[in-house]
Chain A
Amino acid sequence: DIQMTQSPSSLSASVGDRVTITCRASRSLTRYLNWYQLKPGKAPKLLIYAASSLHTGVPSRFSGSGSGTDFNFTISSLQPEDFAIYYCQQSYDSSLTFGQGTRLEIK
Chain B
Amino acid sequence: QVQLVQSGSELKKPGASVKISCKASGYTFSNYALNWVRQAPGQGLEWMGWVNTNTGYPTYAQGFTGRFVFSLDTSVSTAYLEIRSLEAEDSALYYCARHEGFHYGMDVWGQGTTVIVS
Contacts and interface: CB of A to CB of B under 8 A. Distances in A.
Interface residues on B, range: 20 to 34
A45 B111 CA distance: 11
Contacts of B61: 1, 95-96
Contacts of B105: 34, 36, 46, 49-50, 55, 89, 91
Given A49-B104, A50-B103, A100 B35 contact: no
B103 A44 contact: no
Given A1-B62, A94-B59, A43 B106 contact: no
Interface stretch (B13-21, B40-48, B84-92): B40-48
For the complex, would chain B's binding face be called helix, strand, loop or mixed by DSSP majority?
mixed
For the complex, would chain A's binding face be called helix, strand, loop or mixed by DSSP majority?
loop
Interface in B97-118: 97, 102-107, 109-112
Interface string A69-87: 0000000000000000001
Given A44-B109, A89-B105, A91-B102, A96 B95 contact: no
A101 B44 contact: yes
Interface of B: 35, 37, 44-47, 50, 59, 61-62, 95, 97, 102-107, 109-112
Interface of A: 1, 32, 34, 36, 38, 42-46, 49-50, 55, 87, 89, 91-92, 94-101
Given A1-B61, A36-B106, A46-B106, 15 more contacts: A34-B104, A34-B106, A43-B109, A43-B112, A44-B95, A44-B106, A49-B104, A49-B107, A87-B44, A91-B103, A91-B105, A96-B50, A96-B61, A97-B47, A101-B44
